[in-house]
Each structure stands twice: as structure tokens, then as C-alpha cells.
Amino acid sequence: MDPIDLLARVLHRDQDVIVLDKPAGLAVHAGPNSPEHLELYLDALRFGWAEAPKLAHRLDRDTAGCLLLGRHDKAIRRLGKLFMAHRVEKAYWAVTHGGPVADHGRVDLPLLKVSSKDKGWRIVANAQKGQPAITDWRVLGRGTLEGIGAIVWLEFRPRTGRTHQVRIHAQSLDCPLLGDPYYGPEPEPRLPLHLLARSLDLPGLSDNKPAIHAEAPPPPHMLAALTACGWR
């Protein structure tokens, strides 16, 4: 990624935090399959500070949108406390295959991470052994997409922060996300993952600082589906 492009993706900046519009397809940190990752480029976001900002949370590689960074160690500690206290409000936009009949609701479905030597790790629903996972959702639009059929534009607000929570909870509603290679209807989807971390809301970290609100625009690969569901 060009560092200049990263500068253009800053949605909010103050003395404590940066909210970045992370592009889909870029992992946030290094891993066995992630030689290129966001942390390689964070030095471009110092804005005159001695150190680069640090990740306050993470997004999946294929999820686009709002990513919160702390600009110094004290900010990272404060952000961690806000996440633990559930004072960081996150909203996701997704486009799904089909959709629920109702217009809003809540999924309360515990999730469990399981691992095996041959298949690696995965997340499964498990009411007995899983960690609590709660997501509120509402329908923002309905439509059809050529080659796909009925689709629904949904807003998800996770009340807990489990890995792949929105994706599995959408699957539990019988409406998996378009382009989801793990929880979707096809092993090799024709589309990129249609999931956007749309917005973040949290208190200001310093005294007398206003609350922070940031919104990320839909990525190009989601525009056709969102438009078909009534987005303008």
C-alpha cells in the first residue's frame, strides 16, 4: 500500500486516537499468510509524533472500514478499558444472501474457537461451551442482484467482540454474507466479502474532549449490492 493512500483514509484524528478506513484485503498484523499487513505502514500516520500509532483492536483481513488506533501508550490503555466496559459502539453494514423475515432482532448465540492439526482453527456456535456472543441487527434495505437473487442490506451492532461474530450470527439467521468463504453457501465465492465496519462511537479520551464519531464509506465492491437494496 502507498503511504499516501493511507493518509487519505484517515477518518478522524486527535491527540489521542486515529480512526482509519482500512481497505478490504489487507490484514492488520503479520501472520503466516500475511507478509503484507497494515502495521508495516503505520509509520506514515505519526503526524509529527515520535512513535507510530498502535492497533487498539482488529478487523478481519477481508473486512473494510473503521479501525481504531491509539497514538500513545496511555491512549492504548484507555481504549482497552473502554472496550472492556463496552463503551465503544460499533456498527457494521453487510449484504447477505436472502434475509430474515423480521426487520430487526437480536442473536444470542455463544461462539467457540476450535483447532485441529489438519484444518487449523475455526469458530463454531456452541451453546454449552462457547463464550457469550450477542448481536443486535436491523434491516436497512432489500433487493435482488443479478446472478445472486434476493439480498438484504443489514446493520449489525455486536454487543460482544468475538472473532467472526457478525459472520456466524448472520449465518445463524439463514442469511450468510455475500462473498464469505467460510460461512457462505459456496466454498469459492464469486464476490469479495460484503462486510463494512461502518461506524465507531466512543467517549473522548482526554479531559474536555468531545465524543468521537467516525463513519467509513462503502468500499467499491459493495456499491452494486447496496444500490440494489436502496442505498443512495
Q: What percent of the chain has pLDDT over 70?
A: 97
Match 493511507 to its residue by C-alpha cell.
Answer: 6
| Structural domains in the chain plus CATH codes | 3-228 (3.30.2350.10)
List CB contacts of 11: < 8 A, sequence separation 6 or more: 19, 20, 21, 66, 214, 215, 216
Read off the pLDDT of residues 170-201 as tens digits, 9 standing for 90 and up.
999 999 999 998 888 865 557 899 999 999 99
Set 60, 108, 136, 201: catalytic member: 60
Question: Does the pLDDT at position 55 exceed 90?
Answer: yes
The pTM of the full predicted model, rounded to 2 decimals, is 0.93
List CB contacts of 183: < 8 A, sequence separation 6 or more: 164, 167, 168, 170, 171, 176, 177
Read off the pLDDT of residues 10-33 as tens digits, 9 standing for 90 and up.
999 999 999 999 999 999 988 777
Active site residue 60: yes
Read off the pLDDT of residues 139-172 as tens digits, 9 standing for 90 and up.
999 999 998 999 999 999 999 999 999 999 999 9
